[in-house]
Structure 1
Amino acid sequence: MAPPATPRLKTPSDLGDNARKDIAGAVNALLADAFALYIKTKNFHWHVSGPHFRDYHLLLDDQAAEILATTDELAERVRKIGGNTIRSIGDIAKKTRIADNDAAYVSPEDMLAELRDDTQRVITAMRETHDLCDEHNDVATASLLENYIDAAEKRVWFLYEIGRKGSPDGH
């Protein structure tokens, strides 16, 4: 009797089927969020205006590049554990938790606040995915996420500090 056929893209892994499915699903959602946040950040980078144009324009470009840099490692991680990753813009749209902003004009302050809040939501999702990885003993994906959480926290910090008004105590 011939052995059962192996799906062509099912990379061997010692993680169980449920672990692979659950982790791949969670990481694919993070990947979709990263692409959506990247596009939103670039949108705001292209459309920012006002007296702090240069500073905000450069900051948003740097942050977009950081976000985009995560996408290949996230997708490759899904493949390394035997999962399939996102394949299209439509797939990203189905999986992302980041809302579009198609407004013709967004104030720089609102841009910064929206990106800060979106990034904080991504951090929460990364922590939840990290917990899932811990449950399934997927230390490599958990480790990758730890670095991404730290980088995202830095982006939130910068967006928060730039957007603050008033006295040093926040009032």
Structure 2
Amino acid sequence: MVIEKINIRSGPSCQTPSGLGLNAMPSISAALTTLLADMFALYVKTKNFHWHVSGPHFRDYHLMLDEQATQILATTDPIAERVRKLGGTTLRSIANIGRLQRVLDNDADCVSPLEMLKELRGDNVKLTAHMRETHALCDEFGDIATASLLESWIDEAEGRAWFLFESSGRS
């Protein structure tokens, strides 16, 4: 068995020892922090569309988007706490989110309901791909705890994409 030497500095430290190795923490923490920025961006976009959806399917879309936003927001604390458990630091501001997010904002005054659903579906599909990349990184470093969390979040994102696909008339 190999035991990795942990560098312990005198005085207060911001790093929590994780036992995963020196290179694992910065790599996985950075990937999770970027994922966290994406989740916040997707949350705001989903709420934006929830607030502004209109048309004959208003009630169904309004409720579905609210449910999806709630699910997305629920992932944010576990992601940030996982980063901290690994010994990393995570988001500190809205500006930090803006610098890291890969989910594009939509500030348009008017978006049709079907375009909203298609755009969110695409965002969830891309988010799933990013989570799979992060899962592969976790596998590389033997971080089974983070990989396990990602598996649930991947399933949730796939579920959101599926609902958006079916609700948009499969287009």
Please give the residue correspondences for 1:4-153 in structure 2 after superposition, counting only pairs within 5 Å. Answer: 4-5=9-10, 8-153=13-158
Q: CA deviation at 1:6?
A: 5.8
Q: Identity of counterpart residues, as a percentage?
A: 61
Answer yes or no: is 1:159 the counterpart of 2:164: yes
Q: TM-score, normalised by structure 2?
A: 0.93
Q: CA deviation at 1:17?
A: 2.0
Q: Which runs of 4+ in 1 moved over 6 A?
A: none
Q: TM-score, normalised by structure 1?
A: 0.93
Instruction: Identify unmatched segments of 5+ residues in structure 2.
Output: 1-7
> What SS does structure 1 have at the residue aligned with 2:23?
helix
Compare 9-18 and 132-141 and name the one that shifted more: 9-18
Q: Distance in 2 between matches of 1:98 and 1:7?
A: 36
Q: Distance in 2 between matches of 1:7 and 1:154?
A: 43
Cα root mean square deviation, aligned: 1.2
Instruction: Identify unmatched segments of 5+ residues in structure 1.
Output: none
Q: Distance in 1 between matches of 2:12 and 2:131?
A: 29
Q: Distance in 1 between matches of 2:16 and 2:32?
A: 16
Q: CA deviation at 1:4?
A: 3.0
